[in-house]
Structure 1
Amino acid sequence: MADKILSNKSNLQVLFEDNHIIVINKRAGDIVQGDKTGDKPLSDVVKEYIKDKYNKPGNVYLGTVHRLDRPTTGLVIFAKTSKVLPRLNALFVSKDINKTYWAIVKNEPNKKSDTLINWLKKNTKNNKSTAYNKEIKDSKKAILHYKLLKTLDNYFLLEINLETGRHHQIRSQLSNIGSPIKGDLKYGFDRSNKDASIHLHARYISFIHPVKKEPITITAPLPKDPIWDACTS
């Protein structure tokens, strides 16, 4: 990845940690779990961090709860114990974990806020999902809610909440309304970002801690670049 320092145990951005859960601010380019590229996944980096921090002998347990696309940044939750992993999984299944994303797009949507309902079909050959406006064979229903947060000089900042968690859902659905995410060549943006990232960031997450039963809300700092900086100025 050009001009991008990927996560390692010394630069890992840990946003929350207790005996049960660790939450990381993922960098663009990191893969959450191992894949066919053979690149070192974020899960292995987090294991190394835990092993060193707590001087743990032997293997470190870490459960992957969910994923983010490789060019996407922001919040990723891992389970530190086998006890808490199924509880976190259950929160995702029951939609009791609220995730909010920020996306920067070139074209302003027709509406300032809206609910998008599509049927997504994944093509495994090119690792891409196509959004259809009606159900077709092998498609899955996808629902998201967005609102315009800020108008920038040349772009628009959208806030997105998902009702479903489909493959490339935000990328595909925003592209379908003519508002592809900045840098996302795969979904119709006209040029890539120099670091191969896209301007999609898992910004906020909130849930009830599955063990402590306390409310947890976490905000992921934005990546450092002029366009993201303009979103909070």
Structure 2
Amino acid sequence: MEERGVKEAMELNILYEDEEILVAEKPVGMESQSARSFEPDMVSEVKKHINRLSPKQGEPYVGVIHRLDKPVGGVMVYAKTKDAAESLSRQVSMHQMEKIYYAVVCGKPVENFGAYVDYLWKDGKNNCSKIVDKGIKGAKLAELSYQIVDERSIGNEVCSLAKIILKTGRHHQIRVQMAGHGTPLWGDQKYNPLFQKGYRSGNVALFAYSLTFTHPVTKKRMTFSVKPKGDIFETFLLPEMA
């Protein structure tokens, strides 16, 4: 069991690391933090990596700054000190951390670019969220902007590749808002009727492509990006990757 953990840590795709932070790619299908299971999660893998490079007594500190849904892969930053965690968390709350996603949606918005401003309510019992009126108790503001960068026919479906800038970080936000505005994500079994009840199969076509933030100590603005993974993305042209 010990050897397997070391091997997994070595396979972690680390984009940047110093004494304060660690930036890595979260694989599709892995939890962002510790889950109630024996499956690998990002926090455990980051801890294994730190222990492997610099073994010491005690468990290393790994601060969770933001999260990605289990079926969503992409760029994440973790803090290695409490001060770094506080700095990065402040950037998140003040909307100073820029998150760019790519998503494949079924259909096409009326406009090639735009913004969605909604209020979301999380149903913890059923692990889902929905768009509700502003006055509903527990409703939280959700904002994103999108740009359609490509369009293709997949089977009988017209699908679009959307570049999405997430301004707030709500539960299932992109999945809920895109579905609520008539263009649900490809492969989303929770919010896309085409993929519910086993009618079709596939992973959620959503990937955290880019993350920009200010380093907690050097104050340098840093950007990290990873090409979206998944067969469905290969159907489309990713302009920034050309």
| Correspondence for 2:173 | 169
> How far apart, CA to CA, are the structure 1 residues paired with 2:59 and 2:142?
38
1:27 CA drift (Å): 0.9
| Correspondence for 1:223 | 229
| Correspondence for 1:4 | none
Tell me: CA distance 1:217–1:141, structure 2 relative to 1, closer, same or farther (3 Å).
same
TM-score (norm 1): 0.89
| Correspondence for 2:44 | 44
1:85 CA drift (Å): 1.0
1:110 CA drift (Å): 1.5
Instruction: Kindly indicate whether residue 195 of structure 2 is the aligned counterpart of residue 185 of structure 1.
Output: no
Tell me: CA distance 1:160–1:41, structure 2 relative to 1, closer, same or farther (3 Å).
same
SS at match of 2:101: strand
Contact 1:24/1:76, CA 8 A, preserved across alignment: yes
Q: Deviations over 1:32-90 (max 9, x none)?
A: 11233453321001110111122334321111111111111101110011221111111
Amino acid in the other structure paired with 1:108: K
| Correspondence for 1:77 | 77
SS at match of 1:85: helix
1:13 CA drift (Å): 1.1
1:224 CA drift (Å): 4.5
> How far apart, CA to CA, are the structure 2 residues paired with 1:90 and 1:10?
31
1:130 CA drift (Å): 0.6
Tell me: CA distance 1:173–1:51, structure 2 relative to 1, closer, same or farther (3 Å).
same
Tell me: CA distance 1:98–1:55, structure 2 relative to 1, closer, same or farther (3 Å).
same
Instruction: Kindly indicate whether residue 227 of structure 2 is the aligned counterpart of residue 203 of structure 1.
Output: no
Contact 1:15/1:24, CA 8 A, preserved across alignment: yes
1:111-126 aligned within 5 A: 111-126=111-126
1:4-19 aligned within 5 A: 8-19=8-19
TM-score (norm 2): 0.86
- Gaps in structure 2 of 5+ consecutive residues: 1-6
> How far apart, CA to CA, are the structure 2 residues paired with 1:118 and 1:159?
18
CA RMSD of aligned residues (A): 2.1
- Gaps in structure 1 of 5+ consecutive residues: 1-6
Tell me: CA distance 1:58–1:133, structure 2 relative to 1, closer, same or farther (3 Å).
closer
1:19 CA drift (Å): 1.5
SS at match of 1:55: coil
SS at match of 1:40: coil
Contact 1:29/1:70, CA 8 A, preserved across alignment: yes
| Correspondence for 2:141 | 141
Task: Report sequence identity in percent.
Answer: 31
> How far apart, CA to CA, are the structure 2 residues paired with 1:81 and 1:137?
35
Larger helix fraction of residues: 2
